[in-house]
Amino acid sequence: MKQLIDCLEAQRTLTKDEFAALIELSSEEEKEYLFQKARRAARTYYGNGVYTRGLIEFTNYCKNDCYYCGIRKSNRKAARYRLSKEEILSCCELGYELGFRTFVLQGGEDGYWKDRELAELVSQIKTRFSDCAITLSVGEKSREAYQMLFDAGADRYLLRHETANEQHYQKLHPESLSASQRKQCLYWLKEIGYQVGSGFMVGSPGQTPQLLAEDLLFLRDLEPQMVGIGPFIRHQDTPFAQYPSGSMEQTLLMIGILRLMFPNILIPATTALGTIHPYGREKGILAGANVVMPNLSPLDVRKKYMLYDNKISTGVEAAECREELQKRMEAIGYRLLVDRGDCKQE
Ligand code: 5AD
């Protein structure tokens, strides 16, 4: 296995079967071998710096009905909210004071927000906070809409592909959505010039090592600037309520593999990872991640953006607790940076 890890480090890719074998790695010693290399790779580009992003979950209305997600359209129990432009701008104001230089506007696919209005908001934020980057994460749109938002000043776009395999995609989503359309959106975003983030859940129902290998090969083809992954975590009011959650160990292993594939990209230690283990964030960094995205949404709506059960939004997960997060990063030899945190060129 160490040979395979060396090979991945040198070539930045493997065959599908080799990836699948590596994904089944269980020896602690070999995993540590991988994580050490992953940390070293991240350090080459980012030193011991960790980038932060202020996450603003600005609407939990969604027209989609993904079987895994707590804010799916059919979940009548979800208490819906949407923030106003003024509320979003004051989140940025607060975030700026706290030291955030990237704001991530994330939301469900909410038809109330017209592309034009979102573009206007983006340009307002960019005018007011000219040294900040804006990341959008608002799902599938037309190429024209993506272009308009980019022209308005959006720098980055997050759109997880969720699974690269069409059959598996159909198991996780209703027919209105497809893996091919999702991939098309990602290629458009890249063409337009966004820094693009994709990713997937680890341990989603029906996922196998072979399917994870396909995810990695898809990412190799896409060449994204960011990859976000986290464990699947069940949500009680979804069709997937009975499925077991993905594991932290598997997620960490995938982070390590991704880091060796893409030494210079942005990889967050995600909220889902922080939710399944009290030190998930730290473990993610030590497996090769280099970004954290604390929650900057107004306190009264945080509990309503429940993608999965027990999603954390307080403690180090909260933007206002930046100092505590800083201390925890220092405890493992890292430090938070006040910086837009763009992807470094190879
Ligand atoms: N468990 C883990 N992650 C989830 N997401 C949505 N629902 C869940 C869940 N139950 C992730 C999806 C989506 C991102 C915003 O949150 O990957 O792209």
The pTM for the full model equals 0.97
How do residues 89-98 score in pLDDT, each as one tens digit? Answer: 999 999 999 9
Is the ipTM higher than 0.90? The answer is: yes
How do residues 311-324 score in pLDDT, each as one tens digit? Answer: 998 888 898 899 99
| Closest atom of ligand 1 to CA, residue 199 | 17
Binding pocket residue ranges, ligand 1, CB within 6 Å: 68-69, 160, 162, 201, 230, 232-233, 235, 272, 307-308
CA distances from 123 to 88, 100, 106, 296, 310 (A): 13, 18, 16, 19, 34
**Of 199, 296, 202, 284, the residue nearest 243 (C-alpha):** 202
Residue 182 is assigned to a ligand binding site: yes
How do residues 249-292 score in pLDDT, each as one tens digit? Answer: 999 999 999 999 999 999 999 999 999 999 999 999 999 999 99
**Of 189, 200, 113, 107, the residue nearest 156 (C-alpha):** 189
Residue 130 is assigned to a ligand binding site: no
Give domain limits for the chain. Answer: 2-337
- Domain range 2-337, its CATH number among 3.40.50.970, 3.20.20.70, 3.40.50.1980, 3.60.21.10: 3.20.20.70
307 C-alpha to ligand 1 centroid (Å): 6
